[in-house]
Every structure is written in C-alpha cells, then in structure tokens.
Structure 1
Amino acid sequence: MQPHRARIMLAASLYADSHALPCAYPHNSDRRRALAATPGILGQPSVGSTNIAKQAGDQTYIGEQTLLMFDLLQRDAVFTIETARKQWCDYMHNRCSYVDEASAQSLATFSTRPHALKGSDSEDMAGAARIAPFVYCIDDLAALLIAVEAQTRLTHSHPTVIAATLFLTKLAYRVKHGQSSLAAIDAESAALPSTSPLAPLIDSAQQSEHTSAPDAIRALGNTGSVSSAFASTMLLLFRYREDFWECLSQNMLAGGQVAVRGALAGLILGASLDEMPRAFMALNNFSRILQSQPQVRAH
C-alpha cells in the first residue's frame, strides 16, 4: 500500500462531498453552473438550503457520516460493527438537521431491536458513499470487504446496494495499490457473474459516450438510487479516469444527488492525483486527515 496515495483518495472523496454542499436542498441550477466553473473552490451553502447553518468546507450529511466512521477507525485498533452501530445511533439521535429516510427507518429498527445489525432496505447509495475511510484504513482486502458490507447494511441493506458497494470498494482497493481505474474496472467487470444486476448498469454507462456527461447522467438518473447512482458514477469513472477536477465540474452540472456520485468517483479518481492539492486545505477537517494513520484491523 502507498499511504500517501490512500490519504489523497480519502481527502478527494470528502472534498467532492463538500463541493456538493452549496447546492444540496434545494437544488439551484444557476449555482450549480457557477460551482462547476470553479471546482477548486468550496462554496457557501445557498440561501434557503437546509445546510444554511454550515460553512464552506463543511460536509453534507453523507460526508458527516463518513467522518464519523473515519474517527471510529482512527480511535479503535479493531473495527467492530457493534461499536459502529452505537456510534452511528448516538450521532443521529443528537443530530438536529436533515435526516434522510433510510437513516430514519434504520433508527426506528434499532430502537425496537437494539442488537440488530441491519437497518433499512433502502435502494439509495448514500451508505456506499461512506466507504472512503475504510479503503484508507484497512489494507487487507477480505477484512475491508467484510467491514464495508457491514457498515453499509447498517442503513442501506438492499442486495443491489451491497453488490454495488463491494464492486466500488474493489475498484478503490485496486487503484490504491497502483492499478489504473480503467484496468480496475475491466478486471472487476470481468469477474461479475452473468446474473449480476450491476452488469447492465455498467453497460449503460459505457454506451452513453456520444452524449454530454450531464445529459447522460440525467438520462441514467441523477438520483441516489442504486440503479441511477451506480450507473452515473461508473459513467464519471469511464469519462474522467485521469481528471478529478473535470469529474467534479461535470458531476455538479448533472444535478441531483451530486454528493453520492462525487464521494464515490472522487475516492477512485483521487488516486490519479500525484500530490495533495492545495485546494483540499479548504476542507474544515483537513488537518484530521493529514495527521491520520491508515492502518487498522477489522473483524
């Protein structure tokens, strides 16, 4: 493993999430165009947004939960899903801003079944978008996949979401260890069983090459549902495999669930960055990332 590359990947995922913050709830097309033109600048949340109390460089609700998992992985020498569930529940109970539907359903499940390890059966990819700290901290692939699946099931346990999460985790693991994103996609796509629900989504992402990325993403679906978000994330990876910044711009122009696509594509495309960009210093949690250590055990 190359710790420097892994740290850049983590920061890139969180940066992409923060870049989406200004346009989250409500979505504003004029603001999106302005943000797309300046991907190296993190903006202030729009007036009327549910994020209006936040500052430029903060995270969306997805990035906040990603940092929650990051802190847990940094604090404990061993990752356990029971501890992660408790930390997540405590965090959500103390949260006074936006709570997404999958989180609300998961909290309801855990309130009546306190030892449950599976939350909602949501088809949304927000749970998958939290994988960056796991890819950063856990270098054993088998342990990584177990931990990633468990943390995703806490809030999003739909089988296709789990399959998509594991696929993207394997891509991230490969690029962390020096493989190109395209080679990683080819290898993992070839390994998919013929009955995998992911195969047609990958095909649809590849077949849109003659359409602009924002239009293609809107055609595939710019929501957070797995059928839309996974295909759209794959489209970004195919189109911008060596250009993290253009990926951010085009992702922003597509609208919809910008944070989910950005966090996932940013994680993988972050491996193409040779050095930590100065722009990442605008993240309000950048020092935590810079001072962190990448190794943790999982079981």
Structure 2
Amino acid sequence: MKKIRSKDYKIDTSINLNDRDTLDDFKESDKKLKNELEEVREKLGELQDTIYAHGKYGVLICIQGTDTAGKDSLIREVFKDFNTRGIVVHSFKVPTELELKHDFLWRHYIALPARGKFSVFNRTHYENVLVTRVHPEYIMNENIPGIDSVDKVDDAFWQMRFDQINAFEKHIAQNGTIIFKFFLHLSKGEQKNRLLRRLELKQKNWKFSPGDLKERKLWDEYQVCYQEAINNTSREHAPWYVIPADRKDGARLIVANILLEELRKYKEIDEPELDDEIKARLDEFKRQLESE
C-alpha cells in the first residue's frame, strides 16, 4: 500500500481541476482498503477522545462535491468509530425563510463546533459561491441591500463573497477551530455511472431526482466555479484538499489519513492531568471503593 501524505492532496497554489486525478486506485482490493480504513478510523476515534478531554480546539470538516460524489457514505464510514457525543453532522439544504433573513454565513456560524467537538458540514458555506454562482437569480432571495437585479451579481460581488468567506474562516481559526475542506473530485463519466445505478437499483431509486440531470448539463460551469472557489480560499489556516473520488473506498481512506496526520501535528493536545491533590489521594479513593 502506498503511503498517503496530506501534502499530495493539499492545495497551496493555483490549480486547474482538469489536471487533477479523479482516481487514485492504490492497486489494492476493496477488502484491503476497508481494512486499512478500519485501522485509521479507530485511531481517529481515540484522538477524538483526547481532543474532547483537552477542550481547547473545535474541528470543522467541510465536505463538498457534485451530486453522487460520495459525501454521505464518506461521512458514515470515516467517522464510524467516533463517540456521538463529540460530533455533529450538518447537511445544508436550500436556505429556509429564517435563514434568508440573515447573512449567508449565519446558519453556518451557529453550526460551528464547540471546543472539544467536531462538526461535519455536508455541503457547506461554499454553496454560496457555487450553486448561487451557476444560478445567480438565487441571490435575489437574500434581499441584500444594493443588489436589486441579477446584473449586479457580477465578478466584484463574487470576489467580495470570497473575501467574506476568507475573513470568516480566519476569524474562527484564530479562535480555536481547526479547519479541513475536502473537495471530492469526481469525473463526469463516473457520475453518469452512479446516476444510472440509482435508476437501475430499486433500493437506490429514492436518491434520484430529475433535477440531478438538469444540474449535470451545467457540469462545466460547476467545475469552473469549484476551481475558482478553491483557488480563492485555500489558506494555510483553512486549506483545501482535492480528493480523487471515482473510487469511494480510496477517497474515504485518503480523507481519514489526512485528518489523522494533520491532527497529530497539534502536539499540545493531550488529556488533562488530575489536580495534584486528587492525584495524591488515588490510593485512598481506590480503598474506599474496594471496601464497599
């Protein structure tokens, strides 16, 4: 098995998504990859307990990708060994009436992880520079002062929104949130295969929506928007990782390894020690219990 290194997927310079692989095959069987994932996620689960006990950092994990990229199943498999008290998954759909009465980052801000906990965003605040950029008419629902026509949703508007996202992420990073942003990079051919499976397998039919085909026709536009979002917002404190997603088992293993490698770099994260007075009385407490 080749060594998975986070730096091979981390974006620290401008990229062209067409030059990035959508398949990292590993030349290993599905069983081998699943066994490797089990080992890594067990270590992640142990590390989660330490982060929870340490209580000074929250961890935000952002998952983006086109329809069928494997977001739901990745979240299910990578975080299977986590204690549920320390992790919350948020799936962001079309903004509600209440959410539209606030700025576009509000609903994401209130879903941030408390110190010691993990939050996973299944689709993220980046929908606001992806879906809305492909469909700028959606911006009209936000009732932004000065934006009274689609014509005003121009390049300057999107650059402003990138700047706002960068400021948001810098602020939360400076206040103890460790940020990971994963783009599941799927090929158009593999998306076609996965959509066909949704149609062919009865137990998968419920996942299919005719809207998936409408959005698929806008594939090239979405790829440009993903690329520009990544290039404008990958920062050292909030890096993007582009994950080859044509093989689900491989994508899950890569994400799990990146999380483990990067979180282990925080050497100050450790279980807190007992108060000296309590520590000195451990034998006494033990005798009390044994004498019951």
- TM-score, normalised to structure 2, is 0.33
**Greater fraction of residues in strand:** 2
**Greater fraction of residues in helix:** 1
Q: Which has the larger radius of gyration?
A: 2
- TM-score, normalised to structure 1, is 0.32
